[in-house]
Amino acid sequence: MTPLSIPDLPLGARVHDPFLVLEVDPRGGDNPFTVLILGNATGRIQTAPFWASDTPRIAGITRGKVVHVTGTIRPYREQRQVAVDSIRILPPGEVAWPGLMPSVGDVSRYWNDIDNWRSQLRSPRLGSTMALFYDDPEFRAHYQQCPASTSGHHAQLGGLLKHTWEVAQIALATARLFESADPDLTLAGALLHDIGKLDSYRWDGAFEPTVPGTVLGHVVLGSLLLDRRVRSERPMPCTEEELLLLQHLILSHHGKLEFGAPVPPLTLEAEILHYADNASAKVASMVSALQDSSNFLQDAPISTKGIWQLDRRRAWRGQSDWGRPGGNAG
Amino acid sequence: MTPLSIPDLPLGARVHDPFLVLEVDPRGGDNPFTVLILGNATGRIQTAPFWASDTPRIAGITRGKVVHVTGTIRPYREQRQVAVDSIRILPPGEVAWPGLMPSVGDVSRYWNDIDNWRSQLRSPRLGSTMALFYDDPEFRAHYQQCPASTSGHHAQLGGLLKHTWEVAQIALATARLFESADPDLTLAGALLHDIGKLDSYRWDGAFEPTVPGTVLGHVVLGSLLLDRRVRSERPMPCTEEELLLLQHLILSHHGKLEFGAPVPPLTLEAEILHYADNASAKVASMVSALQDSSNFLQDAPISTKGIWQLDRRRAWRGQSDWGRPGGNAG
Amino acid sequence: MTPLSIPDLPLGARVHDPFLVLEVDPRGGDNPFTVLILGNATGRIQTAPFWASDTPRIAGITRGKVVHVTGTIRPYREQRQVAVDSIRILPPGEVAWPGLMPSVGDVSRYWNDIDNWRSQLRSPRLGSTMALFYDDPEFRAHYQQCPASTSGHHAQLGGLLKHTWEVAQIALATARLFESADPDLTLAGALLHDIGKLDSYRWDGAFEPTVPGTVLGHVVLGSLLLDRRVRSERPMPCTEEELLLLQHLILSHHGKLEFGAPVPPLTLEAEILHYADNASAKVASMVSALQDSSNFLQDAPISTKGIWQLDRRRAWRGQSDWGRPGGNAG
Amino acid sequence: MTPLSIPDLPLGARVHDPFLVLEVDPRGGDNPFTVLILGNATGRIQTAPFWASDTPRIAGITRGKVVHVTGTIRPYREQRQVAVDSIRILPPGEVAWPGLMPSVGDVSRYWNDIDNWRSQLRSPRLGSTMALFYDDPEFRAHYQQCPASTSGHHAQLGGLLKHTWEVAQIALATARLFESADPDLTLAGALLHDIGKLDSYRWDGAFEPTVPGTVLGHVVLGSLLLDRRVRSERPMPCTEEELLLLQHLILSHHGKLEFGAPVPPLTLEAEILHYADNASAKVASMVSALQDSSNFLQDAPISTKGIWQLDRRRAWRGQSDWGRPGGNAG
Amino acid sequence: MTPLSIPDLPLGARVHDPFLVLEVDPRGGDNPFTVLILGNATGRIQTAPFWASDTPRIAGITRGKVVHVTGTIRPYREQRQVAVDSIRILPPGEVAWPGLMPSVGDVSRYWNDIDNWRSQLRSPRLGSTMALFYDDPEFRAHYQQCPASTSGHHAQLGGLLKHTWEVAQIALATARLFESADPDLTLAGALLHDIGKLDSYRWDGAFEPTVPGTVLGHVVLGSLLLDRRVRSERPMPCTEEELLLLQHLILSHHGKLEFGAPVPPLTLEAEILHYADNASAKVASMVSALQDSSNFLQDAPISTKGIWQLDRRRAWRGQSDWGRPGGNAG
Amino acid sequence: MTPLSIPDLPLGARVHDPFLVLEVDPRGGDNPFTVLILGNATGRIQTAPFWASDTPRIAGITRGKVVHVTGTIRPYREQRQVAVDSIRILPPGEVAWPGLMPSVGDVSRYWNDIDNWRSQLRSPRLGSTMALFYDDPEFRAHYQQCPASTSGHHAQLGGLLKHTWEVAQIALATARLFESADPDLTLAGALLHDIGKLDSYRWDGAFEPTVPGTVLGHVVLGSLLLDRRVRSERPMPCTEEELLLLQHLILSHHGKLEFGAPVPPLTLEAEILHYADNASAKVASMVSALQDSSNFLQDAPISTKGIWQLDRRRAWRGQSDWGRPGGNAG
């Protein structure tokens, strides 16, 4: 089912749709009220105030619940809000999640590429080790849904798969430039580096870190997952030294201790993986920052302030068509 | 002329060849002597001692001179040295530099790719601006010789061109993953980012920083070169705002102020360029560190100590053939 | 025309004056309203609320516009506000900017000193190079208006000129202590170090960074300005090596890479300039912080919290007259 | 067998004893020679030079070998050296390691305390989990030999056990001060925090890092060891959430990301453990630095320079008997 | 007098009690009002709004005053507030401070331990020097009231004494593990390290830093106090070198320059003291963070965000009873 | 007595003079020998080797002793050395220190200026407080000899006085630019900021840190000196709050905690003092670095490597006469 397109709702439009509750925001001074921030895969909108006397109408509504809302779009200080006529919590069984959360959309192109690259691996034991995960239907079902972060880069359903696909491509492009790099091992690193995120986030509602994700971290969780999975096979699909190479790729991919890598990259492929991971994550964050119109005052070319996801840098929407016929800038 | 292969010289071999003087090293305690470190494009070797009484034989020999040496290879503490029978300084006119300095070898493949990418630019004004440099024979003649550093990554004749080619490929591979990125501008950034190195290094003998390279830095020198070259055309091949986009790419490519970027990357293409530049430089440094046997004790898998070029990380020569038939590791 | 003295307005006073709109601040909960922050060269004051129903009265009023206001001063929580009877946007042609923005006041004393110092330069080529800027009426007209920052030190009309004058004096006082320092070159450094700010800020209304100021930075903009101006003369008024000395002064004046200097100071005069620039900027910030009563709770000697402009240090208004007859403290 | 006391050897003494080869040091200028640094549990001494002509006598002798030496103690520049009459490599089977390496000595007191503390655990599942390691004879045999570092704090045979004992005591003393701290869990953290060092160091000869110790690090190796050991039991001796608590203690004990902790301490017991670990390690380093007379010029109270193990701080041998009868200082 | 237990007040309860005014908080938009935050040793609660028309009722009420309040407990957004019928400022003479401020409670156990430890000192001159402070009734009266910080660790009446007692125990437990440590000097360091806090904080009302505490800092204030006190005795109770040892303990106890230690620890006892001080302060902060329910959303195990007192770490309320009969967790 | 000018000694010259022993350097391989580095106020030179057989001739000679040497200047690898015929230790009573150590020379100009500035103080209590030190003959006798560091900036006899004079001038020049700065207090800060160095260094022979200088630091030693001296007067020459202002100047003059300031500057005068102190110290270091020919290879404009005293920056000897008649550079 295609979700309602929130950014396209005109003033006066009627809504009669499910929304994910993104925030429950109590506000106001002497005359307190509550505003809900509602969203789906296409965007977000806030409700008109629920006054103290309306409290019973929103009883039990918390962040991460899905509600069915009937109401009207009204203007509010150069923005729009939805004046709610009726609102009720949808039972989990009735929720169609895919339309409600930000999503990368169709993931088949990512799977196609990844499976194709795997099929070209020239290293039998490496292929078998990857297959422990990437031929496992349950792994695939989870992996293609998991976000790559809760509020940073690729914070979307399927974001982890998309990020993996980007990292693999940048890493392979880099490995091909250096004769002594092993492209098969580089690909394996891309495929494994973030598997610990499967245990680190929940995406059944709002994206949230899990307890293990917070207290062990996705880097170590990935290492534990790999260790358990490889050792559960008899015989192991790879040797102990080969396992060490793979573990090192996972554990070093954050590049430096202060960024959460227990060890820095010490092999060529680990170094390549680290920069590819960084490039995917940081460039994706820049894409988001530039597309988020709330960072910019109307048509201003420079963002109004430093942006959190860019380590407090500003962003510049500078571009040109360079004289291209039908170019993308004037 | 193919230079003598220094790594292949057996004990007892006679040499009768030109060498670049890499170091003039006075040593010893009460009985002082001098050792020369000689090199060519294939490697380096030291001489037997020149005692105090031999001083006149090496008068005038300094770092960066080229000498013609006749002598014999002798053993010295598990290494080899050359016992010199005669040595004389070659006049500049007689020096065949290409065989004497570390070099990336044939550069035509890099030019072919770069010129091919340029021919596919869809942006007329961008193409014209690149052509100011890349169609200029004098620029090409210098650019294909210049090293990318004096003792770090790509410290070879042609290293700058090779590095440019690597950066362009990684950057283009990255840009293709993000719809909102402009691949033409990304390529332009790769082609321009290090042009200031032409004024920053000397490679007529040993690689040395120039005074402008030291006191202004290659980042700003590149910015000044671009400004002068573009403004010397009437009309300018691009607009002022377009020039700003290109200047920003040059000035921000080091990524952070503490790494020498006067401004951090604020556009998508600048962010992509920064990570591509980093990947090329850091991975090339790792390749060198792993190939330099002096970092490792015999067959030890881990380097004996932290390696300067890797920010004091150790390097691990871990690899495997993963069961490949005829694999690269046992 | 002398602007209205905002700090001296008594309760009940009538205003009938132009003001610069410093902020347009939408506030409130269920009953939203907008407050304008108005200012002129003497201070700032806020308006009474414009309720939703008043919205048409302030349509089109944005930060940086100048408005003519008729109204009355009223009390509001230990502060004053202006209850607006009528308000209208002044067309640019009717605006008398000097009275509306914070200003250093009469700049002639700064010009007198600077021109006097220039006249005493013993270095002909240095004098000619300075004259390219400092004898240019257009440069002078802009330079004496430009602020030295948008919201930090010397954020006033004429602030850049005043800062230059301070830096020159501290730098000359320092240079005179060290025989090997060249006072002429030191003065030149002071005069040139911040010329790039002319292209970095706008002061036609609120102080704002320009796009080039944000994406290239004032340090490099200064370097580009100098390069273009010197090279536009035939013959150049100084030699290439002399130009390098001047460029190095501009490029290194922030002292460290992490503070935005592409190169650190490597000459004696560059080192002197850096500390003089720092002293002027940081001491001016401390003066402002100590004079800003909003940093202190009534007569409290210590500021209520760390102050942004002082890198989060608190400020202490400790002083004494030390027994002076008619001293400045009890 | 009690090893020869190296510090007590008088000039002229004859030695006829086994030594561990600590360094093989080629030296000299034109007349090269080699010196061996020999050691045992009591100290270290160097040999007289082996000249080029003596080379065959020391063929095959490398760092970490054990040699039997016959010779005489001679003076050499205010130090002593051993002039070697005969030297031969001992086959591994003939080597009595305990006398040859620095050692904490008798470890039974540490075991007694640790086993006693374990017996007082009030938490059945915690006791069973500890017993997986601490009741395993093989674990005990290795644990009581392993050093706590290769050249830093507790770099001695048995150093890891001694460090564990110290950490446990400091941690328990701290936990007892805070009612909400769980002393049992604190003890468990002390016992488990460094188990990964068993796989990180070799102590069969010189202390050396292993490949896994270098490329995964002891923190993660400990986490993997615990995961495998606990999961190999059916049923597991503790719950999944309890395992998480233990893993968090191991993974966070370095306190900060930049010190190699993939996650910082987030529980009370993890915070306690981190400070106890730090106190044991840093105070032990200070003890060593103060006892190492090579850090001090004769009786100088302050070390001659910053000391590596103390993060480049100097050390001060200041003390007093404060008027105690028979005090330790005058 | 036992203070009213604020956390136990039911809805509808009547209060007729003294409270410390913790905050005077003006709020609201167009219809401004003021809320008071009131507290005593048991907790804090806010008042219902005082509207503009109520302003005279709260005239003169500022942070740190003590007021007598009559009113009723009412519900307010899942919290409680007190609707005030009457409020009046209590004159200082009528204030019973102990019941009004957070407090460690009965301090006699801390004094008992400390005095007992002092009685066991084997060092006469050290004992006499400690007695200058710890046998001085005025010192004791102040010391047992002073908080250890204004809003960080041990920010309670008596907090400094409790912190001292904790530091002494951790430091003594550590010193006992290292034969070369002097336990007497270690205890002295614990007793003296924070005496400068007596001059650094005020606790007659809200906890506030004094001017000397802000502009000299408690570390140096402690050093000055010790210097003056010791030198005021004729003869001095210890030697000059002994005084140096004590001063070094005070001045180095923050461990590193960036944490405010003018010198880092250079003796064994100073190193021990530093880690004990850190352990007490940081673990106490973790205890507070875990007990503060406002850090957690209902029963969530992980705090909702990074916590200021923990350097922005989150806190995890993970625990278990590990199978203990009647354990503290399910 | 004018000392022998070491830099001017020609080859073959005879010396018959006293020298300070700067280093006793044992060297060599199998044939060990010792070299002495000798110096006086004009420079330094090394001796020819003392072989093992010469040992009795240099018995008892250590760093900091003064020796009388008879010998001849000989060439040694492009340097000169003194071949010693006879050498004997001079008893302390015979040593004329002023000629033997680096010195700022005549200090009367510094005293004249400082005393003149003091005489113009408009603040009676400030003048009296300064006089406690600056009218004390013993203070003056020590202060005019003390170096400002042992091996950094102004490491010369009288260096502290010269540095004080520089700081005072830069600080006064800065204070005069800011109306709200108190020039009297600024001068007082300059005069007092480094008085603690009197207790921190020894200059009776080589410059060495004292134990108090190392374990308390000159910043706190200055604070203690001021406290004791002011409090020893009855009545105190200034008030307690005034003393606080002076203490704050001393304690904050290093500017930041990480540079050893227990508190950062919180007043205007403290901020001015900090930058003036920095300017004097850093510019003086740059002067030394540029004048030290050992930093440069012959006429090279850039130093051969990063220089320790400049925080590892290189130095550039770039200068020009800018067309001055009879200019200082070509």
Predicted confidence at residue E32, as pLDDT, reads 65
Whether the per-residue pLDDT at E330 is higher than 50: the answer is no
Token pair 């408009």 is found at: F122
Neighbours of F214 (CB within 10 A): 20
Tell me the C-alpha distance between C325 and C37, whole Å: 42
> Mean per-residue pLDDT for D261-283?
98
| Interchain contact, F211 vs D302, CB within 8 Å | yes
Whether the per-residue pLDDT at A248 is higher than 90: the answer is yes
Q: Are strands E201-202 and E208-209 parallel, antiparallel or unpaired?
A: antiparallel
Contact list in D for residue F211 (CB cut-off 8 A) is 301-302, 316, 318
- Secondary structure (H, E, C), chain D: CCCCCHHHCCCCCEEEEEEEEEEEEEECCCCCEEEEEEEECCEEEEECCEEHHHHHHHCCCCCCCEEEEEEEEEEECCEEEEEEEEEEECCHHHCCHHHCCCECCCCHHHHHHHHHHHHCCCCHHHHHHHHHHHCCHHHHHHHCCCCCCCCCCCCCECHHHHHHHHHHHHHHHHHCCCCCCCHHHHHHHHHHCCHHHHHCEECCCCCEECHHHHHCCHHHHHHHHHHHHHHCCCCCCCCHHHHHHHHHHHHHCCCCHHHCCCCCCCCHHHHHHHHHHHHHHHHHHHHHHHHCHHHCCCCCCECCCCEHHHCCECCECCCCCCCCCCCCCC
Token pair 């002393």 is found at: D183
Q: Give the 3-state secondary structure of residue E161.
A: helix
Best C104, C163, C286, C309 member to test F by mutation, with max F CBs in 10 Å, is C286
CB-CB: which of C33, C301, C316 is closest to E29?
Answer: C33
Predicted confidence at residue A330, as pLDDT, reads 39
Element (H, E) at F121: none
Q: What is the pLDDT of residues D298-318, one digit of tens each?
A: 789 999 889 988 999 999 999
Whether the per-residue pLDDT at C98 is higher than 80: the answer is no
Tell me how far CA of residue A110 lies from CA of A141, A159, B176, C138, in angstroms.
Answer: 13, 11, 14, 59
CA E314 to chain D, closest CA, distance in angstroms equals 6
Q: Give the 3-state secondary structure of residue F228.
A: helix
In one-letter notation, the amino acid at residue B326 is G
Contact list in A for residue D211 (CB cut-off 8 A) is 244
Tell me the C-alpha distance between A154 and A148, whole Å: 5
Residue D35 pairs in a beta bridge with: D25
Per-residue pLDDT of chain F (330 residues; tens, 9 = 90+): 577 888 888 888 999 999 988 888 776 544 567 889 898 888 788 898 887 677 778 888 887 889 999 999 987 765 688 999 999 999 877 887 778 888 898 999 999 999 999 999 999 999 999 999 999 999 999 999 999 999 889 999 999 999 999 999 999 999 999 999 999 999 999 999 999 999 999 998 778 899 999 999 999 999 999 999 999 999 999 999 999 999 999 999 999 999 999 999 999 999 999 999 999 999 999 999 998 877 888 789 999 889 988 999 999 999 999 999 875 543
Contact list in B for residue A252 (CB cut-off 8 A) is none
Q: Which residue of D has its CA nearest to E126?
A: D322
Best A180, A286, A296 member to test B by mutation, with max B CBs in 10 Å, is A286
Token pair 């050390």 is found at: D315
Q: Which residue of B has its CA nearest to A280?
A: B174
Tell me how far CA of residue A195 lies from CA of B12, C280, D90, D224, E253, in angstroms.
Answer: 57, 53, 49, 16, 44
CA D139 to chain A, closest CA, distance in angstroms equals 21
Per-residue pLDDT of chain B (330 residues; tens, 9 = 90+): 578 888 888 888 999 999 988 888 776 544 567 889 898 888 788 898 887 677 778 888 887 889 999 999 987 765 688 999 999 999 877 877 778 888 898 999 999 999 999 999 999 999 999 999 999 999 999 999 999 999 889 999 999 999 999 999 999 999 999 999 999 999 999 999 999 999 999 998 778 899 999 999 999 999 999 999 999 999 999 999 999 999 999 999 999 999 999 999 999 999 999 999 999 999 999 999 998 877 888 789 999 889 988 999 999 999 999 999 875 543
In one-letter notation, the amino acid at residue E230 is V
Whether the per-residue pLDDT at D245 is higher than 60: the answer is yes
Query: Backbone phi, then psi, for F150, in 5-degree steps?
Result: -90, -30
Predicted confidence at residue B78, as pLDDT, reads 59
Here the ipTM equals 0.88
Whether the per-residue pLDDT at C329 is higher than 70: the answer is no
Predicted confidence at residue C74, as pLDDT, reads 87
Element (H, E) at C133: helix C124-134
Tell me the C-alpha distance between A200 and A198, whole Å: 6
Q: At a CB cut-off of 8 Å and minimum separation 6, what does C78 contact?
A: none
**Given a contact as 3+ CB pairs under 8 Å, which chains touch B?**
A, C, D, F
| Interchain contact, F266 vs E223, CB within 8 Å | no
CB-CB: which of C123, C170, C328 is closest to F170?
Answer: C170
Predicted confidence at residue F184, as pLDDT, reads 98
Q: DSSP labels for C293-310?
A: GGGSSTT-SB-SS-BGGG
Q: At a CB cut-off of 8 Å and minimum separation 6, what does A279 contact?
A: A170, B170, B174, B272, B275, B276, B279
Mean per-residue pLDDT over chain D, rounded: 91
Contact list in B for residue C261 (CB cut-off 8 A) is 262
Tell me if there are at least 3 CB pairs under 8 Å linking chains D and C: no
Whether the per-residue pLDDT at C330 is higher than 50: the answer is no
**Given a contact as 3+ CB pairs under 8 Å, which chains touch D?**
A, B, E, F
Whether the per-residue pLDDT at E277 is higher than 60: the answer is yes
Six-digit token string for B77:
């503490």
Q: What is the pLDDT of residues E213-271, one digit of tens each?
A: 999 999 999 999 999 999 999 999 999 999 999 999 999 999 999 999 999 999 999 99
Contact list in D for residue F32 (CB cut-off 8 A) is 77
Residue B87 pairs in a beta bridge with: B69
Query: Backbone phi, then psi, for A303, in 5-degree steps?
Result: -65, 150
Q: Which residue of D has its CA nearest to E182?
A: D319
Q: Give the 3-state secondary structure of residue B124.
A: helix
Is the peptide bond preceding residue D102 cis, with omega within 30 degrees of 0?
no
CB-CB: which of B26, B30, B214 is closest to F33?
Answer: B30
**C11-25, D207-221, F15-29: segment of lowest average pLDDT:** F15-29
| Interchain contact, D320 vs E239, CB within 8 Å | yes
Residue D101 pLDDT level (bands cut at 50, 70, 90): confident
Predicted confidence at residue B77, as pLDDT, reads 61
> Mean per-residue pLDDT for A148-173?
95
Q: Give the 3-state secondary structure of residue F82.
A: strand
CA F100 to chain D, closest CA, distance in angstroms equals 24
- Which segments of chain B does DSSP mark as H helices, in order? 108-119, 124-134, 137-143, 159-175, 183-192, 211-215, 218-231, 240-252, 268-291
In sign, the C-alpha dihedral spanning B59, B60, B62, B68 is: negative
Six-digit token string for E25:
């908080």
Tell me the C-alpha distance between B18 and B39, whole Å: 9
Contact list in A for residue B113 (CB cut-off 8 A) is none
Residue B82 pairs in a beta bridge with: B47, B73
Predicted confidence at residue D77, as pLDDT, reads 60
Q: Give the 3-state secondary structure of residue C51.
A: strand
SS3 content of chain C, % helix, strand, coil (to 5): 45, 20, 40
CB E265 within 8 A of CB D289: no
- Secondary structure (H, E, C), D188-248: HHHHHCCHHHHHCEECCCCCEECHHHHHCCHHHHHHHHHHHHHHCCCCCCCCHHHHHHHHH
- F124-134 and F240-252 helices, crossing angle to 10°: 60
Q: Give the 3-state secondary structure of residue E15.
A: strand
Own/partner contacts of D89-96, CB < 8 Å, gap of 24 or more, are D89/D60, D89/D61, D89/D65, D90/D18, D90/D65, D90/D66, D95/D18, D95/D66, D96/D1, D96/D18
DSSP label at residue E196: G
Q: Which residue of A has its CA nearest to E49?
A: A30
Query: Backbone phi, then psi, for F74, in 5-degree steps?
Result: -130, 155
Nearest Cα to F172, choosing from F115, F128, F117? F117
Residue C78 pLDDT level (bands cut at 50, 70, 90): low
| Interchain contact, F29 vs B32, CB within 8 Å | no
Higher pLDDT, A75 or C295: C295
| Interchain contact, D316 vs F214, CB within 8 Å | yes
CB D73 within 8 A of CB D82: yes
**Given a contact as 3+ CB pairs under 8 Å, which chains touch C?**
A, B, E, F
Six-digit token string for C263:
């190169």
Tell me the C-alpha distance between D135 and D151, whole Å: 29
Predicted confidence at residue D32, as pLDDT, reads 66
CB-CB: which of D216, D228, D267 is closest to A263?
Answer: D216
Q: What is the pLDDT of residues C258-271, one digit of tens each?
A: 999 999 999 999 99
A vs E, Cβ pairs < 8 A, gives: 27
Residue C25 pLDDT level (bands cut at 50, 70, 90): confident
Six-digit token string for A237:
């699909």
Q: At a CB cut-off of 8 Å and minimum separation 6, what does F124 contact?
A: C322, C323, C324
Cα angle, residue E229 at apex, residues E228 and E231 outer, rounded to 5° = 65
Tell me the C-alpha distance between D99 and D96, whole Å: 6
Contact list in C for residue B249 (CB cut-off 8 A) is none
Q: Which residue of B has its CA nearest to F318?
A: B211
Cα of F84 vs its chain's centroid, Å: 30
**D1-5, D172-176, D220-224: segment of lowest average pLDDT:** D1-5
| Interchain contact, B316 vs D211, CB within 8 Å | yes
Is the peptide bond preceding residue D235 cis, with omega within 30 degrees of 0?
yes
